[in-house]
Amino acid sequence: MPSFLFWLFAGVMLIFGALVIINRNPIASALSLVVCFLGLAALFMSLDAFFIGIIQVLVYAGAVMVLFLFIIMLLDLRAEERRTMNWVAFTGGFVVAVSLLVQILAVISRTQMAKQTFPPLASPQTDDVRNVGLLLFGHYNLPFQVIGVLILVATVGVIVLSKRQLR
């Protein structure tokens, strides 16, 4: 893929990722996150992983973030905008983030894997939907079903909890 596209989308992701945190308005943050997801999807697609890219848009940008927006819209946004900055929390978070970054850089600089160049990816003619499907429902069928049941249980739990609170 043309490398300028990589830099373009990576830049978009970084900028909007930062905007998610910087924006005081939750709606603006949520929308920045959507753009961030779109950039990520574009990166996947440039690796010929159309399926993952599209699912990224469909699930995260199209469904999850819409639900987030739905919830945020019902909140009192002014309260968030009025809130003043807590300097203790800010410096604490800053220290944690910087130390994490230093740690990651240190680890990466020592591993051998980071130095080698990746081999070119498989030919773009592969049908990745079929591959994902066969892998998911063939080799990983049991874990997949278990996760499905877990999510079902979680959903039922949420409904039970919220209904109890209503009464």
Partner 1 sequence: MSAIVETIEAMERPPVTMTSRLEGELLEVSMGPQHPSTHGVFRMNVALDGEIVRKLKPVFGYLHRNHEKIGENTSYLGSMPYTDRLDYFCSMTNNWAYALSVEKLAGIEVPERAEYLRVVLAELTRLQNHASLLGFLLSDMGAWGTPLMYAFREREKILDLFESLSGSRMMCDYMRFGGCRVDASAEWLARAKEIVDRFPNFLDEFEKLIVENEILIARTQNVGKLSPQLAISAGITGPMLRACGVNYDIRKVDGYGYYPRFQFRIPLGEHGDTYDRLMMRALEMRESISILNQAFEQIPAGPIMNPKVKVRAFRPPVGEAYGRIEAPKGELGFYLISDGSPNPYRYRVRPPSFINLTILEDLCLGHTVADVMVILGSVDIVMGEVDR
Partner 2 sequence: MNPTTFFIFTTLLKIVGIVFVVILPMVSYAVYAERKVSALIQDRLGPNRVGPAGLFQPIADAMKFLLKEDFTPAHVNKFYYWLAPCLAMVPAITTIAVVPFGSTLFGVPMVIADINVGVLFVFAIASLGVYGIVIGGWASNSKYPFLGGVRSTSQMISYELSLGLAVIPIFLLIGNLRLTEVVQYQIDHGWMIVPFAGDWRNPLAWLLAIPMWISFAVFAIAVFAETNRLPFDLPEAETELVGGYHTEYSSMKFALFFLGEYAAMITGSAIIVTLFLGGWHFPGIPDGSHGWIFGLINIFVFFAKIVVLLFIFIWVRFTLPRFRYDQLMRLGWVFFFEIALVNIFCVAAILAFHAPPFPKHGLQADESDHGIPGGKMGPAVA
Instruction: Please choose, from the candidates 41, 28, 33, 27, the residue with its C-alpha nearest in 3D space to the C-alpha of residue 15.
Output: 33
Q: Select the binding partner of residue 69 from partner 2, partner 1, none (C-beta < 5 to 8 A, by kind).
A: partner 2
- Give the per-residue contact string, 62-101, with partner 2 (x = CB under 8 A; - = no): xx--xx-xx--xx---------------------------
Tell me the C-alpha distance between 37 and 19, whole Å.
13
Q: CA torsion sign, 83 to 85 to 86 to 90?
A: positive
Between 1 and 96, whose beta carbon lies closer to partner 2? 1
Q: Select the binding partner of residue 165 from partner 2, partner 1, none (C-beta < 5 to 8 A, by kind).
A: partner 1
Q: Which residues contact 72 (CB under 8 A, 6 or more apart)?
A: 26, 27, 30
Instruction: Please choose, from the candidates 40, 31, 51, 56, the residue with its C-alpha nearest in 3D space to the C-alpha of residue 8.
Output: 40
Is 51:128 a contact under the CB 8 Å cutoff?
A: yes
Q: Select the binding partner of residue 1 from partner 1, partner 2, none (C-beta < 5 to 8 A, by kind).
A: none
Find the shortest distance in angstroms from Cβ 11 to partner 2: 21
Q: Does 159 bind partner 2 (CB under 8 A)?
A: no
Q: Does 40 bind partner 2 (CB under 8 A)?
A: no
Q: Does 8 bind partner 2 (CB under 8 A)?
A: no
Q: Select the binding partner of residue 166 from partner 2, partner 1, none (C-beta < 5 to 8 A, by kind).
A: partner 1
Q: Which residues contact 121 (CB under 8 A, 6 or more apart)?
A: 47, 48
